[in-house]
Structure 1
Amino acid sequence: MGSWDVEPFGNDDAADFAFELDDASPEARIEAIGRALDRVVDATDDDPHLSQAPRAVAAAALVAAQCPGGAQVTSAYGPSTPMPPFPAYLRDLAIDALDRILATPTWLAEYWDEASQGPAWRRTVADLRRVLDPPQEEALFGSDVADR
């Protein structure tokens, strides 16, 4: 994989994915995002679908962009066509895909861990994960109790 940036579309695989998304119908874009995420979630350690990890990170970034607090994908190598609204299940699938990429030693995580920009890449992925699954504040009391 050729990479030039730690951002989700900062590599050849993700840039190719963006071009494919630009050429697809809105429905096909949703399917392609889901397929990229699902392949990584369901992959075993020796499964060639783990080679889809850069696409899954890019897909997760597009899903996160539609979440509260999500950053729009502004990379020159990202899709230039607006994404359709994504169904809610893609959010959970994106979380699972990012967890899969980071939880076990995948080639993508190892690639970045060996690079000087590895910590920055991990922060990028962690930021996406945080947008997709924000920490929940614990409420000790209902709002009517707090107002008294």
Structure 2
Amino acid sequence: MGAWSGEPFGNDSAGDWAWDLKEQTTWDAVRDALAAVVDTDGPVDSDDATTAIAAAEVVAHGLGRPTQVDAYTADVAAFAMRAGAPGGDVVELAVRALAEATDPEGELAELWEDDPEEWDAANAKLRAALEG
């Protein structure tokens, strides 16, 4: 995972996934990315976890409570404008997926164990934005 920050779109996997949002007009792709970690038995793959965190940030954008607004989220903001506000089911799924993706026993948390402060803070901020 090429990462330059602990923010949801501070890594290559999230940026690659966001590229797929350019043509999307519904929340289906976001829902799929979130469900991929919620529906997993056992440890969540780090790429899936990274994508789920990014998808949760997309939900936060759709709610009007983004935690990351920069060049990396320009496509996200455009998607949120096209798709409109996410339904309550998507928001609930985002909260659950964020919890799974950031599980301290998970593969992604292990990758951040040498410098967890920035990543933990970004995830806490995102959780608060989702929970409103």
Q: Give the TM-score of the pair, scaled to structure 1.
A: 0.76
1:114-125 mapped onto 2 (5 Å cutoff): 114=114, 116=115, 118-125=116-123
The alignment covers a number of residue pairs equal to 127
Deviations 1:45-99 (A, max 9, x none): 2465x6311111011011112336x126423223423321222211000000111
Deviations 1:14-72 (A, max 9, x none): 000111111x2302xx1110000000111122465x6311111011011112336x126
Unpaired runs of 5+ in structure 1? 135-148
Q: Aligned AA for 1:76?
A: A
More helix by share: 2
In structure 1, how many angstroms separate the alpha carbons of the residues matched to 2:55 and 2:125?
14
Deviations 1:85-133 (A, max 9, x none): 222211000000111123351111111122x2x1111111111111212
Tell me: CA distance 1:58–1:40, structure 2 relative to 1, closer, same or farther (3 Å): same
* Structure 2 equivalent of residue 130 of structure 1: 128
In structure 1, how many angstroms separate the alpha carbons of the residues matched to 2:44 and 2:7?
25
* Structure 2 equivalent of residue 55 of structure 1: 51
Identity %: 32
Bigger relative contact order (CA 8 A; separation at least 6): 2
Helix, strand or coil: the match of 1:6?
coil
Root-mean-square deviation over aligned CA pairs:
1.9
Q: Give the TM-score of the pair, scaled to structure 2.
A: 0.84
Tell me: CA distance 1:43–1:129, structure 2 relative to 1, closer, same or farther (3 Å): same
1:1-148 mapped onto 2 (5 Å cutoff): 1-22=1-22, 24-27=23-26, 30-46=27-43, 51-67=47-63, 70-71=65-66, 73-80=68-75, 81-83=78-80, 84-85=83-84, 86-114=86-114, 116=115, 118-134=116-132
Tell me: CA distance 1:46–1:7, structure 2 relative to 1, closer, same or farther (3 Å): closer
